[in-house]
Every structure is written in C-alpha cells, then in structure tokens.
Amino acid sequence: MSVFIIDLTVKEVTELVASLGEPAYRAKQLLAWVYQRLAVSWEEMTDLPLTFRQKLAEKVSLHTLTPLHEVKAKDGTVKVLFNLLDGKTVETALMKFYSTDKKERFTVCVSTQVGCAVGCPFCATGWQGFERNLTAGEIIDQVLYFARRLQEQRKGHAVERIDNIVFMGMGEPFSNYNALWQAIEILNAPECFGLSARSMTISTAGLVPGIKKLGGEKLQVGLAISLHAADDKLRDKLVPVNKKYPIGELIEACREYFARSGRRVSFEYALFDGVNDSLQQAQKLADIIQDLNCHVNLISANNVANQKMQPSPRSRVLAFQQELKNRGINCTLRQSRGQDIDAGCGQLRSRFLT
C-alpha cells in the first residue's frame, strides 16, 4: 500500500523530500500545497518541478477518503459518510454557527475510530461495536475535505475556513491517543493547517488515563467530558466505561487536569426523558462539580431508535438548567444540530450497514 502524505509528520515529510534528492525548502512548499492550498492531485502543484512530482506520484498518495453519501439539514449542518480504503466507513459533520457579530463560523465534528467500544445505549455508533482505529491521516482528511468544500464554495468571494474542530464523532478519541495527537499537531502546525490549538476540543466518555495525559501536553487543546449522569448507578448504564472509571475518579482526574494545564473542563450532559433529567440529578451534578473550574453544556438529545432514550421535553430541560444556575453552576443549553437528518453520531452510517 502506498504511503499517504497526510499520515506523515512534518519531520517525516522533510525526510521524504531529502530521500528524493530535493532541497529542504521543497518540504515547506509541499506541505503548503497539501494543507493550505488543499490540493487533490500532484498536477496542481505547479511550482514544484515535474520530476519531483513524478517521484511523489510513484511513492506517495494524497488522500485517504472517498465520499459515499451526503445529507444536509435545514440548519445548514452537512454530514458525509466516507469510504475508507479497506471498505469500512466513517462519518463527519460540518456545522455552521453564527457569532455575536453575525459572522458565519464553521465547526467540523471529526471521527477517530470506525465504530466504538464504549457502548452507550443512546449512541448509534455504540450499537455498531468497535472495528478499528483511524490513522492520523484518516482523521486529518476529514478536516481537509470540508476545508476544500468551503474553499470551492467561496470562489471569487471572501474565503471561509474551518474555525473549530471537535473530536466528537465516531469513536472514543483517547482510545486512539497517538494517532489523535499526531493529527492535532499537524492541524496546529503553522506550516500545515495552522489552526489554533484552542480551536480544537477532544470529547471523551471519561477515560481517566487520557485525561491525565492531556493535562501534560503543551498544546492548549480543549477537553469535554461526556458525563450524562451524576451518580455511578445511572452512569454505569448510560456510559458503561464508568464501571472502570467511576465518577469520583473521573472528577479527581479533571481536578488534576486543571491543576496541570490551567484549562477549564467542559461537561456534556444530554437530557433524556425520565432517565437523567430530574431535579435530583441536577442537584447531584451541582454537588460533584461545585468547586471545579468547569462549564456544563446541556444538550437536547437526538432522537434515536432506542425508545427508552428519547429527548426530554423542553420544560424539563429548562427546569434542569435553572436548578444548576440556582446552585451557581455555569451552564449553557446547546441545541442538537441536524435533527432532521439524524445527524447524531453514527446514525448515517447505521443506514448503510447490513
């Protein structure tokens, strides 16, 4: 199998260029074509010598993903199901938001695994089971695909670009830490994609070793914890990894993370009707995070096939939010995106699995 340029670190690209007998500055040109000018073929790289491009074409491939199916929601969310080279599939979403000055901002929700081993009952990816980790290049290519789309849509106009990346798609990111971190470093590197580390967020179901490791990293990447319950008995059912890393251990890891990194933790809490949306749960949640520097994102859950896991009515969502606020907890109510296209994690891929 051919080597993919996006699977290589900056150092490895430099070594590749040297091995092909080219001067070192060609590496910078090559990286700019791949990550900034978003080339899809070697022929596009017209300021590289033809002989160099021919050598590259013999030894290296550019991209790893092929779009298989696309859906678009009324709110502007676009989700694409991609074919990987081994025939497996993975999905990625592009979400459009508006800042306070009405400027469009674009976030890519990226997958890190094919399937997921965590097995949350409300997550379509969890029902599919785990198949394999994605490579760094497969993670990066999801971002480049949508960056290229935005570039193509804005020909002749102001160029829009990706503003944020959230590793909240299929899979548990910390179960694929090395490939994830390589992708983050490349997406952050100024000679590559050049996106600020603060514009990237990793979402985890609560893998404590990954949280601790992230706390020691130099890049200021955000951390979001998919909490969804405030006591171990309920969270064991909703997020089964809690049996290995219970809430007390998880919260302690978050304290350690903040102490080492100085970065605030976000907690994601999807509200399900009659499951985890009681005022008692809100009170317990406030108690366990009371003295932690954090923010809670309350989420109106996506409709899923599991009839026992349906979205909470808005009145109960608002009551839950008010209870947290009354107890001094910073919280925001975040609307789910792409409800009309089943944009929740793994839902599009589920349609194509046989």
Measured from the Cβ of residue 259, the count of other Cβ atoms closer than 10 Å reads 10
> Of 116, 120, 331, 345, which one is the catalytic site residue?
345
Output the CA torsion sign for 209, 4, 16, 44. Answer: negative
Q: In 3-state terms, what secondary structure has residue 300?
A: strand
Q: Is 331 among the residues known to form the active site? A: no
Calculate helix-pair angle for 314-326, 279-289, nearest 10 degrees: 30
Q: Which two tokens stand for residue 96?
A: 């459009």
Q: In 3-state terms, what secondary structure has residue 35?
A: helix
**Rounded to an integer, what is the distance from CA 343 to the centroid of its chain?**
14
Bridge pairing between strands 60-61 and 3-4: parallel
Q: In 3-state terms, what secondary structure has residue 113?
A: strand
Q: Of 170, 176, 172, which is closest to residue 118 (Cα–Cα)?
A: 172
> Of 22, 91, 172, 268, which one is the catalytic site residue?
91
Bridge pairing between strands 89-98 and 78-83: antiparallel
Q: Is 91 among the residues known to form the active site? A: yes
The DSSP bridge partners found for residue 204 are 225
Show the CA angle centred on residue 207, arms to residues 351 and 6, nearest 5°: 65
Residue located via tokens 């606020």: 325
Q: Which two tokens stand for residue 249?
A: 């251990």
Active site residues: 91, 345
